[in-house]
Amino acid sequence: MKAVCYYGKEDVRVETVPDPEILNPRDAIVRVTATAICGSDLHIYGGYIPTMLKGDVLGHEFMGEVVEVGPETRRLKVGDRVVVPFTIACGQCYFCKEQLWSLCDNSNPNAWVAEKLYGYSGSGLFGYSHMYGGYAGGQAEYVRVPFADVGPLPVPDSLRDEQVLFLSDIFPTGFMAAENCQIKPGDTVAVWGCGPVGQFAIQSAFLLGAERVIAIDRFPERLALASSFSRAEVLDYSRVDVPQALREMTGGEGPDACIDAVGLESHGTTLDAWYDRAKTSMYLATDRPHALRQAITACRKGGTVSIPGVYGGWLDKFPLGAAFAKGLTLKMGQTHMHRYMPRLLDHIERGDIDPSFIITHRVALDDAPEMYRTFRQKQDSCIKVVMKPGVETRATA
Amino acid sequence: MATAVVAYGLSRRSLSGAALAAAAAPLAYRGVTGAWPGFSTRASDTRVALAGHRGIHVREAIRLEVPVEFAYGFWRRLENLPRFMTHLQAVTDLGDGRSHWVADGPGGSAFAWDADIINDIENKLIGWRSIAGSDIATAGSVRFSPARQGRSTQVSVNLQYAAPGGRAARLLAFAFGHDPAHMIREDLRRVKQLLEAGEIARAAKGAEA
């Protein structure tokens, strides 16, 4: 089959690889009908994620049709149309039972690697390094899905692929980011980063009762989308002093909650951002937490900082003193996908939201190398790339 | 750290057999097999080989989301052990508490020993040791204690290995690699996956871990 494979920093290729097989009794094989490139795939593309190997199949946002099931798979049937969560969960361990699905104990065969780095390991992930299990990803024609009765969510035929595909990661991720803000009616939420997760965080904050959302980015098309589609007030950090602007917009109090939807590759124009760039380029630091520093500093006293953006290592110049002094709550982590998917599918079915609003590029799987470049460079107003493995001809929309 | 323990254990054994025969307090051995105070243990060369701080000691624990009866019952059927202890080829229950163990050796070979269960308290403890004259002197215990109000089981493994001669030392080094604690931890992770999720996670064909 055809698959998008990692070959090194800024080097992905479409290769022919062996078709996946049922390996465990609770597996299923899914024929992928739609898959997307995630902002967190760009962390891999940029060489920030350790334990990636040449030839690894990428991709953790995908959906498709079940074509084969293992002997212990009972709920899912061949022919079912499903969206697959990017986190792999067994459904039986302490963490799954506690609804902490992304912390599943039993889905990462290489948990010991993550344990060396983090103390304990999170769940296995599709297409996201050997530290997270080494599972082949979904930017491919077929994919093996472990614990098929637990993760994949059947979707009704009345909804198009593009409307439900983002239930695989970014919609629940944006939603959990907003839920973590513990929003009360009348609250103001500030969101750093207006990429796909930021856009869904903005939408979700309003769904959960926020009165105002202030969105921060520097790309005009992203700010425009946040403003026009999601009714957010927007700040271009390349033009305004963000902390100062937030103070003014909130009567000197600061936002009730701040969401860092940027993560470890944050850009910035202030001194600390250049310091991060210099240190990471010399391998003296692992992450560039400029947005997170700003979110912590800007947040009002007693507020919440919610972090859906991915971090991987040890953060430098982390303003824990400010977080402590203001009594902030920090909430973070990989999304507990299974907790949110059915509820968000309801929102889509009821017409509260059509997640396809973020798609800017619709292409064939063969276009992946070019699209990774385009997405990383933010060229061509690229916000979200959807690839259709069944489609042979280029059909850029 | 664990590598250092192996190196230490092996170097101790290479000194001489006489060193192994030296008398030492059997406290560590008693702790390993889980023998209750007053439990009568027969003197044997296993006991001597593992006396004091000789050999390799591994202590690891894991919590399983199954009731204690289930965990104990699974473990007590010794035939189940190779399902998650990948260095074992087979364990056969010979009856009367005796069992026959076959493990992977170097170059695709295998080596074997017999063991006796010397302590068996239902839903609490299984303790064993290899019989006199085995290539490998081994003793161990697995304790089962209820956790989280009985919904979970805490399993604590205590293992001790020693090999009195050159060949056995090589087998031992092979069987436990460079890091016996790591190997036991991975065994425990696999039993957790097996008992909770019903299968052992793997990402690729042929890969068990």
Q: At CB < 8 Å, which residues of chain B contact A?
A: 63, 65, 148, 152, 182, 185-186, 189, 192-193, 196-205, 207, 209
- The pLDDT assigned to A283 comes to 66
Residues of A in contact with B201 (CB under 8 A): 24, 90, 106-109, 124, 133, 146
Residues 22-81 of A with CB under 8 A from B: 23-26, 72
Band of residue A389 on the pLDDT scale cut at 50, 70, 90? very high
Residues of B in contact with A23 (CB under 8 A): 202, 204-205
Minimal Cβ distance to B201: which of A92, A97, A146: A146
Contact B197 A94 (CB under 8 A): no
Gap from A199 CA to chain B (nearest CA, Å): 33
- The pLDDT assigned to A227 comes to 97
Q: Does the pLDDT of residue A181 top 70, yes or no?
A: yes
Band of residue A7 on the pLDDT scale cut at 50, 70, 90? very high
Residue A19 DSSP symbol: P
Minimal Cβ distance to B201: which of A21, A94, A109: A109
Low-confidence winner among A50-54, A235-239, B106-110 (lowest mean pLDDT): B106-110
Residues constituting chain A: 397
- The pLDDT assigned to B20 comes to 27
- The pLDDT assigned to B206 comes to 63
Contact B65 A147 (CB under 8 A): no
Can you say how many angstroms the Cα of residue A145 is from the centroid of all Cα atoms in its chain? 19
B23-66: pLDDT as tens digits: 222 334 445 665 433 333 443 566 666 666 567 788 999 999 99
Contact A124 B201 (CB under 8 A): yes
- Which residues are bridge partners to A215 per DSSP? A191, A234
Residue A381: other Cβ atoms inside 10 A: 14
- The pLDDT assigned to B13 comes to 35
Contact B65 A92 (CB under 8 A): yes
Minimal Cβ distance to B199: which of A26, A97, A135: A26
Question: What's the whole-number mean pLDDT along residues A356-382?
Answer: 96
Minimal Cβ distance to A133: which of B148, B192, B203: B203
Low-confidence winner among A95-109, A126-140, B172-186 (lowest mean pLDDT): B172-186
With both helix axes pointing from N to C terminus, report the angle between A271-281 and A290-298 in degrees, rounded to the nearest 10: 150
Gap from A111 CA to chain B (nearest CA, Å): 9
Question: What's the whole-number mean pLDDT along residues A341-355?
Answer: 97
Question: What's the whole-number mean pLDDT along residues A194-217?
Answer: 97
β-strands A153-154, A61-69: how paired? unpaired
- The pLDDT assigned to A149 comes to 97
Question: What's the whole-number mean pLDDT along residues A74-81?
Answer: 97
Residue A387: other Cβ atoms inside 10 A: 27
**Structure tokens, B187:** 């065994």
Contact A92 B197 (CB under 8 A): yes
Q: Which residue of B has its CA nearest to A134?
A: B203
β-strands A385-388, B56-64: how paired? unpaired
Separation between Cα atoms, residue A31 and residue A150, nearest integer Å: 18
- DSSP assignment of B51-120 equals STT-SEEEEEEEEESS-HHHHHHHHHSGGGGGGT-TTEEEEEEEETTEEEEEEE-GGG-EEEEEEEEEEE
Minimal Cβ distance to A134: which of B193, B197, B204: B204
Separation between Cα atoms, residue A347 and residue A207, nearest integer Å: 10
Q: Does the pLDDT of residue A397 top 70, yes or no?
A: no
A-B contacts (CB, under 8 Å)? 68
- Buried b / exposed e over A271-298, threshold 16 CB at 10 Å, is ebbebbbebbeeeebbbbbbbbbbbbbb
Residues of B in contact with A147 (CB under 8 A): 197
Instruction: Show Cβ contacts of residue A277 under 8 Å, excluding neighbours closer than 6 positions.
Output: A288
Q: Does the pLDDT of residue A155 top 70, yes or no?
A: yes
- DSSP assignment of A141-190 equals SEEEESSTTTS-EE--TTS-HHHHGGGGTHHHHHHHHHHTTT--TT-EEE
- The pLDDT assigned to A95 comes to 98
Residue B70 DSSP symbol: H
- The pLDDT assigned to B23 comes to 25
Minimal Cβ distance to A93: which of B197, B199, B204: B197
Residues of A in contact with B182 (CB under 8 A): 112
Q: Does the pLDDT of residue A226 top 50, yes or no?
A: yes
Residue A130's SS3 state is: coil
Residues of A in contact with B200 (CB under 8 A): 24, 109
- What's the angle, vertex CA A112, arms to CA B172 and CA B163, rounded to 5? 10
Band of residue B12 on the pLDDT scale cut at 50, 70, 90? very low
Residues of B in contact with A97 (CB under 8 A): 65
Question: What's the whole-number mean pLDDT along residues A363-372?
Answer: 97
Contact A106 B192 (CB under 8 A): yes
Segments in A242-367 forming alpha helices (H): 242-249, 271-281, 290-298, 320-325, 337-350
Separation between Cα atoms, residue A108 and residue A128, nearest integer Å: 11
- Which residues are bridge partners to A386 per DSSP? A36, A362
Contact B65 A24 (CB under 8 A): no
User: Cα separations (Å) of A312 from A180, A265, A333?
Assistant: 20, 10, 11
Can you say how many angstroms the Cα of residue A221 is from the centroid of all Cα atoms in its chain? 20
Q: Does the pLDDT of residue A286 top 80, yes or no?
A: no
- Plot region of A136 (φ>0 → left; ψ -120 to 50 → alpha; else → beta): beta
Instruction: Kindly report the average pLDDT of chain A as a whole number.
Output: 94
- Establish if A273 touches chain B: CB-CB under 8 angstroms: no
Pick from B101, B120, B92: nearest CA to B34? B120
Low-confidence winner among A21-25, A262-266, B108-112, B152-156 (lowest mean pLDDT): A262-266
pTM of the full structure: 0.86
Residue A383: other Cβ atoms inside 10 A: 21
- What's the angle, vertex CA B154, arms to CA B149 and CA B158, rounded to 5? 155
Q: Does the pLDDT of residue B69 top 90, yes or no?
A: yes
Band of residue A153 on the pLDDT scale cut at 50, 70, 90? very high
Can you say how many angstroms the Cα of residue A390 is from the centroid of all Cα atoms in its chain? 24
Q: Does the pLDDT of residue A390 top 60, yes or no?
A: yes
Separation between Cα atoms, residue B88 and residue B155, nearest integer Å: 20
Gap from A93 CA to chain B (nearest CA, Å): 6
Contact B202 A23 (CB under 8 A): yes
Instruction: Kindly report the average pLDDT of chain B as a whole number.
Output: 76
- The pLDDT assigned to A284 comes to 65
**Which strand (E) or helix (H) includes residue B104?**
strand B98-104
By the 8 A CB rule, do A186 and A208 touch?
A: no
Band of residue A394 on the pLDDT scale cut at 50, 70, 90? low
Pick from A194, A243, A196, A197: nearest CA to A216? A194
Residues of B in contact with A94 (CB under 8 A): 63, 65, 148, 152
Band of residue B16 on the pLDDT scale cut at 50, 70, 90? very low
Q: Which residue of A has its CA nearest to B205?
A: A23
Band of residue B163 on the pLDDT scale cut at 50, 70, 90? low
- The pLDDT assigned to A353 comes to 94
Residue A352's SS3 state is: coil
Q: Does the pLDDT of residue A329 top 90, yes or no?
A: yes
Band of residue A98 on the pLDDT scale cut at 50, 70, 90? very high
| Cα torsion A246, A247, A249, A250: sign | positive
